[in-house]
Copies of this chain bind each other. A is one copy, B any other.
């Protein structure tokens, strides 16, 4: 499946009502995110599925693929575009078996060895990082931009930079053959997610050229 990874939004609903959360996601879609990953760690299966369906109504309206973090079963149940598999999640092969070949399976990598293994396992794209410190995940070690660059050159699947990226620091990625960047706080914690997404999309588009 051909996907535009330019501006990959990972959601964070912490501290938001469902209504406010969905409003932020819609503003981000309007602003130009090219993909949305719904990421929930504390919800029951049914709650996660409920929210996934609500988000999918929005992403469908904007023609943006929805990726479900961690849960291949929920990706199937809500007919999302795919699933993102982290280090604490299923193996890539198991996710692929569950979602089939028509859906996206993305995964995370911190090293060239992990990236090559993920590609061999059938991953469609890689999230590489954290490039910078972030408050939305517990990060043990950062991934240097040089390693990100090595990974991009070592694999044939697209890789995106993740972790603490924003308008101010993403310029440091200029020249690195990434397919895009992933952000959480830079959009979800912005007072104006639409404008934040617009500016980030323009900045990343410039980076990629």
A121 in the interface, Cβ–Cβ < 8 Å? no
For A76, give the chain B residue with the smallest CB separation: B98
Contact B70 A94 (CB under 8 A): no
Contact B94 A73 (CB under 8 A): yes
Closest Cβ of chain B to A104, distance in Å, is 16
What's the Cα separation between A95 and B87 when bound, in Å? 24
Central interface residue in A45, A73, A94, A98, by most chain B CB within 10 Å: A73
Closest Cβ of chain B to A107, distance in Å, is 13
Contact B45 A70 (CB under 8 A): yes
Q: Is the interface of A mostly helix, strand, loop or mixed?
A: helix
- Number of chain copies forming the complex: 2
A201 in the interface, Cβ–Cβ < 8 Å? no
Closest Cβ of chain B to A52, distance in Å, is 11
Interface residues on A, range: 20 to 34
Closest Cβ of chain B to A28, distance in Å, is 26
What's the Cα separation between A37 and B104 when bound, in Å? 31
Which residues in chain A, 21-48, are within 8 Å of chain B measured between CB atoms?
Answer: 44-47
A71 in the interface, Cβ–Cβ < 8 Å? yes
Q: Mark A84-98, 1 if CB is under 8 A from B, else 0.
A: 000111110011011
For A87, give the chain B residue with the smallest CB separation: B46
In the bound complex, residues from chain B placing their C-beta under 8 Å from that of A89 are 44-46
In the bound complex, residues from chain B placing their C-beta under 8 Å from that of A98 are 72-73, 76-77, 98
9 contacts across the A-B interface (CB closer than 8 A): A44-B88, A45-B70, A46-B87, A46-B88, A46-B89, A49-B90, A71-B73, A77-B90, A98-B98
Using a CB–CB cutoff of 8 Å, the interface residues on chain A facing chain B are: 44-47, 49, 70-74, 76-77, 87-91, 94-95, 97-98
Q: Which 4 A-B pairs have the closest CB atoms?
A: A77-B94, A73-B73, A44-B88, A72-B73
